[in-house]
Structure 1
């Protein structure tokens, strides 16, 4: 059950940012603090990068990781679960597939990593998404909130920089203000971020989410804490029919047909999709 403010359990879970702010306006200030920070470009050393439909969990004393993060979240939402006593943290990049299972897995992983630390509470932070024309982010925010609310564990929502709180209205079309988030696993600080290097085997990892298959809707846990290694899969994906025809199309055609929010995708979106199709 989500603890929304001052340790008070929410009898009814707010499923919109507007409803959350109406009951607890302090979340606006927390979001404003994040939005006021300049985005940081995070280099590869010590980075654990989480792609769309992936999650990972880590502890502060991990010798291989200093920052965990994700970016390119336009209509997606980046979810962070922390244990305040141990510093264990899990991060996921959710797009609407596998939301409930991912919420349960994140809490379970953090609790596992926090074993032996009796003091501390679970904290939830949500960043990303905007007031897009099709309201994808609004629906995703509701599903995420309900997924955590239905869990037996108490979890304190400390940040919700999503949807209308993360929307820029200048220039005529809405756009997300923050699309990437990093977490310093030593200090617990969260900050706007972008990641020029997103880790190994990107075409393979993108293929799982776009081409379909028995594992395409799962949010995969990609980090093995025991050996300090990024593990991708195993998973199966289906061949994409007509891939040669897709590769003959213009960048604009690919953008318009393979993105839910083509007006606000980053410049490298089509490049990444093309590499996936070639793979």
Structure 2
């Protein structure tokens, strides 16, 4: 089944983001409106943070999670799928690896958690990217749109605040306007957001999207209402002993798709992940014992407690 825009069934997806916006100019206006909103600082209570190359879905009956959020998207895109009747909401942070498979897994999860109901529809919101010099954002925008267009399910695109629209020029450099968003499960409200409390195991989760893993990771166990990390392995990082000692500007320049646009904490986060990989070269033996994931439960204050394996 194809992608729908304003009730219109699309016959094809353009190869250019510019052409897409020319055909559907209302996305520009809606995107500008979203970009103009003040960023909200999201508190950790009831928040599930979705990292790069992760996704998670939550039902409105969940007793723990009330908000899904993600941040630090430069060339990456944040995609929200929401069922109009069941209110099942899924958020993914896509970086260009495992895009097609990841989106299909997200769709399957929304359909399953909606008990395969034939009522209502799946609505999609895309946010992220900017006019980067390598054109990575535009390529990812088109890849996502084409993947939705080729799905078996009807997909209704409601928001496309992507690439050209999510862009601002500062001192002759292009930057994203929106780096992060939060979506409220109950009403589907999406707002630009900044998120400082990102949940547990950040260095480990960062290790998942180093070279060697080309898929997206579902991080939430809906039945038990638990954050689940892994199990997964990662390839040896070449010259890791050198990388962990390199100055900040080297890490920023060579380990980012958009060095000038990364937030201030980018290098510190990457360095922590590199040190974690250095200290844990075989995670299936030292981290994921007996092949089991690490499981966490959120508390009322937003802190996460590691459960006994």
Q: TM-score, length-normalised on structure 2?
A: 0.87
Task: Indicate the residue corresponding to 1:8 in structure 2.
Answer: 8
When the two chains are superposed, the root-mean-square deviation of aligned CA atoms in Å is 1.2
Q: How does 1:14-33 map to 2 (within 5 A)?
A: 14-33=14-33
Deviation at 1:8, TM superposition (A): 1.3
The answer to whether residue 210 in structure 2 is matched with residue 222 in structure 1 is no
Task: Indicate the residue corresponding to 1:200 in structure 2.
Answer: 200
Task: Indicate the residue corresponding to 2:162 in structure 1.
Answer: 162
The answer to whether residue 261 in structure 2 is matched with residue 264 in structure 1 is yes
Partner secondary structure for residue 252 of structure 1: helix
4+ aligned runs moved over 3 Å, structure 1 = 1-4
- C-alpha distance in 2 between matches for 1:162 and 1:6: 18
- C-alpha distance in 2 between matches for 1:46 and 1:138: 33
User: Deviations along 1:16-60, whole A, 9 cap, x unmatched?
Assistant: 332222112111121122112111111111011111111111111
Task: Indicate the residue corresponding to 2:291 in structure 1.
Answer: none
Deviation at 1:117, TM superposition (A): 4.6
Q: TM-score, length-normalised on structure 1?
A: 0.96
Task: Indicate the residue corresponding to 2:244 in structure 1.
Answer: 247
1:235 aligned to which of 226, 229, 232: 232
Say if 1:14 and 1:145, in contact at 8 Å, map to a contact too. Answer: no
Structure 1: gaps (5+ residues): none
Partner secondary structure for residue 193 of structure 1: strand
The answer to whether residue 274 in structure 2 is matched with residue 277 in structure 1 is yes
> In terms of Rg, which structure is larger?
2
Task: Indicate the residue corresponding to 1:108 in structure 2.
Answer: 108
Structure 2: gaps (5+ residues): 277-309
- C-alpha distance in 2 between matches for 1:118 and 1:64: 27
- C-alpha distance in 2 between matches for 1:21 and 1:4: 15
Equivalences, count: 276
